[in-house]
Chains A and B, each alone.
Chain A
Amino acid sequence: MDTMRERFVSVTSQLLDEDPRLALVLAEITMDGFRPARERHPDRVLNVGIREQLLIGVGGGLALTGMRPIMHTFASFLVERPFEQVKLDFGHQGTGGVLVSAAASYDWPAGGFTHMAPGDVALLDTLDGWTVHVPGHPDEAEALLRHAYAAGDDKVYVRLSALSNGAPRPVDGLRMETVREGRSGVVVAVGPMLDGVLAATEGLDVAVLYAATVRPFDGAALRAAAGRAAADVVLVEPYLAGTSAGAAAEALVDVPHRVLGLGVGRAELRRYGTVEEHTAAHGLDARSLRERITAFLR
């Protein structure tokens, strides 16, 4: 199975052939994978060098001329470093585009904190109108990338990761899916967290919802699930813990409820090692999740 990032290369290269409105902007990262596409479309596959402010600004300029820009690099250099460009060169201009990141929260633990972006979704959450897709499998990544490219002039962030579930779920770019019914609480698993959540809640009487699209937040699905079960909600997100707690509270504003936000911790671990070690360190492995979920629902 290819990775989400490899799928991004193949799907985007194919769609560049089919849709003349699409243009890809890179800042060196993943350039090798796009060389064949650049040979076919030198005017629409652009590499600006290691210049992330320009990466977003060029995307903004492409959008001003009516094109659909796709901008890509690691999450920390795509959302965090040029954040004001994201804020002003799209939303403030009244234009849209697609941000596609790689490396996520801790895909490359040996690379250290400079290459980790657990805060990317929370940061984008300060802006109006960004759709946020967090695929949990390369097939979902493909579906959501296609959805994002075809989404008119919407502002869309697609957060790719090396973490993946074993099997894809059907995703429509909008709604959460009920994966398991249960009565004593609702666990929302986001993207690559699903397999761990399913393992952690095995044998527990809890509902499990799956979200590969977190903004806009599918509050209706959460309300419905909380109506069928106890309104005790656990969010398990592969980025900063609690990022969607406000959205969940808003969805349940008319219902007495409790929310536990699990995800990547705020504190720097200052550790290298493996993805599995970081998942465990943030309490997101199946065993830790089970302990924290059962303690909360007790």
Chain B
Amino acid sequence: MSHATADPGVRHEDLGRLMALMTGAEKHGPAATSTLDVLWVLYDRVLRVAPETAADPGRDRFLLSKGHGPMAYYAVLAAKGFFPVDWLRGFGSYDSPLGHHPDRVLVPGVEIASGSLGHGLPLAVGSALGLQAQGLADPAVWVLIGDAELDEGSNHEAIAYAGSAGLERLHTVVIDNDSATHGWPGGIASRFEAAGWSAVTVDGRDHEALYAAFTAPHPGRPHAVVAQVEKKA
């Protein structure tokens, strides 16, 4: 399996240019950029998936649960060659496959259609179980959620069960921009740890720290990475 290096010429610095191709309500909003560094490190260095392996049963899965503000996601997918950069210009228009929430049926490389919060982590749990049941022990399943998305009770159903089931191939990234109205006293990581997960909290803008957190061993347990970024304006 190859790393996601379809276009080695595209660098992290180029993502801003790609995002600028997209127009629409959320243009350069914080929701669009809070995920940018996490997504880049994952697709550039961690996930074993590329356009040519996007339908391979053995690929790593990345599920964007926090589907709003998907511009960084689209920019990274385009940069990695999952679809043409030209598509970015049509963002949100009637004839474009790129909506303000992504749709797996329309966009190559998109693993789930999201937008309604709290669906991605349960789907990721099912995906990890499905791979395990088919003897595919290697592929990792990643899901990205937001700290406010964590309000949804469905996540807590999934966190409790996945911890108990010891789903080692399951990984959750929580983008924490302190946007949950009632906050998470005691920290987000503690919610995962109490349920039996491995969990680490890092600077969501520090690529080396993210990479280290993403690749930390977590034998017998699912793994959560809380990526802290600046507070939503």
User: Which A residues contact B (CB, under 8 angstroms)?
Assistant: 20, 23, 25, 43-44, 46, 48-49, 51, 53-54, 56-67, 69, 84-85, 88-89, 92-94
The verdict on A62 contacting B129 (CB below 8 Å), with A48-B161, A94-B104, A94-B105 known, is yes
Q: Which residues of A contact B57 (CB under 8 A)?
A: 65-66
Which secondary structure dominates chain B's binding surface? helix
Number of A-B contacts (CB under 8 A): 105
Residue pairs across A and B with Cβ atoms less than 8 A apart, 28 shown, are A23-B130, A43-B133, A44-B133, A46-B129, A48-B157, A49-B160, A49-B161, A53-B118, A53-B157, A54-B125, A54-B158, A57-B121, A58-B125, A58-B129, A60-B122, A60-B126, A61-B124, A61-B127, A62-B126, A64-B111, A64-B112, A65-B57, A65-B127, A66-B130, A66-B134, A69-B126, A93-B123, A94-B105
- How close is A51's CB to chain B, nearest CB, in angstroms? 4
In the complex, are the beta carbons of A85 and B161 less than 8 A apart? no
In the complex, are the beta carbons of A57 and B158 less than 8 A apart? yes
Chain B residue with the shortest CB-CB distance to A25 = B126
Chain A residue with the shortest CB-CB distance to B118 = A53
Given contacts A61-B126, A85-B119, A93-B105, 20 further A-B contacts (CB under 8 A): A44-B133, A49-B160, A53-B118, A54-B125, A54-B154, A57-B125, A57-B126, A57-B154, A57-B158, A61-B122, A63-B130, A64-B126, A65-B131, A65-B134, A67-B133, A69-B126, A88-B116, A89-B123, A94-B105, A94-B113
Tell me if B8 counts as interface (CB < 8 A to partner A): no
Q: Which residues of A contact B118 (CB under 8 A)?
A: 53
In the complex, are the beta carbons of B129 and A89 less than 8 A apart? no
Q: Which 6 A-B pairs have the closest CB atoms?
A: A61-B126, A57-B122, A65-B130, A58-B126, A51-B157, A54-B157
Residue tally, chain B, CB below 8 Å to A = 32
In the complex, are the beta carbons of B123 and A84 less than 8 A apart? no
In the complex, are the beta carbons of A92 and B122 less than 8 A apart? no
Interface residues of B in 158-172 (CB under 8 A from A): 158, 160-161
- How close is B118's CB to chain A, nearest CB, in angstroms? 8
Q: Which residues of A contact B158 (CB under 8 A)?
A: 54, 57
Chain B residue with the shortest CB-CB distance to A61 = B126
Q: Which residues of B contact A20 (CB under 8 A)?
A: 134
- How close is A17's CB to chain B, nearest CB, in angstroms? 14
The verdict on A93 contacting B112 (CB below 8 Å), with A43-B129, A43-B132, A61-B128 known, is yes
Tell me if B153 counts as interface (CB < 8 A to partner A): yes
Chain B residue with the shortest CB-CB distance to A22 = B133
The distance in angstroms between the C-alpha atoms of A49 and B164, with both chains bound, is 11
- How close is B100's CB to chain A, nearest CB, in angstroms? 15
Set A56, A64, A88: member contacting B127, Cβ < 8 A: A64
- How close is A7's CB to chain B, nearest CB, in angstroms? 24
Q: Which residues of A contact B131 (CB under 8 A)?
A: 65
